[in-house]
Amino acid sequence: MIVRISPSNLKGTLCVPSSKSVAHRAFIAAACSDAPTLIKGNLTGDDVNATLVALVSLGAKARKTSDGLLITPIGDNLVKTVKINAGASGSTLRFILPLVASLGVSATIDGTKRLAERPIGELLDVLRKHGITADGDKLPLTVGGKLTGNQFTINASVSSQYVSGLLLALPNINGGTVETVGNIVSKDYLDITLSVMRDFGIDVYERDGIFTADGAYKSPREYIVESDWSSAGFFIVAGAKGDITLNGLNINSTQGDKAILNALKAFDADITADKVVRIKSNKLNAFTFDVNDCPDTAPALAVLAAFSNGTSVLKNTERLKAKESDRAKETVKMLTAFDIKCVDKGNEIEITGGALHGCEIDLPDDHRIAMAAAIAASYAQGDTILHGAECVNKSYPSFFEDLKRVGGKVNVLTV
């Protein structure tokens, strides 16, 4: 899809989609529960759909209702041999691998070329040590066998999804422990995992890097997936140059990406965060922000830095290189196209604010780069053409429609 974005002043009110981080976990817990669960929320995006399709292939049922999505657990309908396409979703891949292992399923798993490049080797090593066979170390691969033992040790310095995947599988093998080594990255995502598991009846806690889970999944009957702070971040940044109000965000959420508000405070935007979140333009201060625990905020924060008066620094950006794209490289490339001085220094990105100029960008297959570019384009001088803009479907299919709702000038040239 090719999209042209013309300059505008973004102002208005939105309700962003439900959190895909919460949805992945809730779908898995519901599929492994003792009774059906009605999942409520604005559940959209290719990633969460990949997890849902995988669970259905394993024997769960999913039916849309007027209130949400009714998930009937796998139970006695378990399919012992399946083919699963994880698409471009790292969460789907890293959660489904331990899940099929805990269920004793033989699964052939594939995905996009970029997903095949994302690390899973250490997770596979742990599974192999506990009775699982795997015919390779990257996609496509086939895993088989039944998970043995209930005490697992995993390096958490590569991805917290390794830990989350193992934790989500533990109730299927009567509980156990996951001991982490290395510095846990994106720890806030583990808080989401623990929260969802508790909501589905699991006694789960962490002490000194050791996570313990006891009990079997019990359906809460209804479960509401809260709005997504990751998606909201782009419109929060838009509000820092305009005036945006966002409904439905949980200010007490365990989602780590709500930390973007801290960067906005340093930027000295006008922020109201209570029953609604409203961001208005104020001063444009440069800032320094550590994205280690909230790496998905980096592209949006990079655009915020481009709006600032001065030089901003995003710290601990090394992990961005193993996302849907080399997100550090692509963020620098995107802002450079807008004539913003931006330098990748290895583990930090330095951005000097200034006037943005419209440009033409071939987007990587990375939803967060596309959304960041669209916000930047809205405040650039002259039109911007984005090629490959359909990648927003990964998490936020209605993004460009919502951009229009707050005054964005968006023209879809080709679908």
- Two tokens, residue 316: 């601990």
Query: Exposed (0-12), middle (13-18) or buried (19+): which is 401, by Cβ within 10 Å?
Result: exposed
CA angle 174, 19, 62 (to 5 degrees): 60
274 and 249 in contact (C-beta within 8 Å)?
Answer: no
* Cα–Cα distances in angstroms (integers) from residue 96 to residues 116, 175, 311, in the given order: 15, 17, 42
102 and 142 in contact (C-beta within 8 Å)?
Answer: no
Three-state secondary structure readout of 337-400: HCCCEEEECCCEEEEECCCCECCEEECCCCHHHHHHHHHHHHCCECCEEEECHHHHHHCCCCHH
Total length of the chain: 415
Give the full edge-to-edge strand order of the sheet including 106-110.
Answer: 81-85, 106-110, 141-144, 133-134
128 and 134 in contact (C-beta within 8 Å)?
Answer: yes
Nearest alpha-carbon partner for 314 in 274, 338, 336, 345: 345
Nearest alpha-carbon partner for 377 in 183, 238, 251: 238
Q: What are the residue numbers of the active site? A: 296
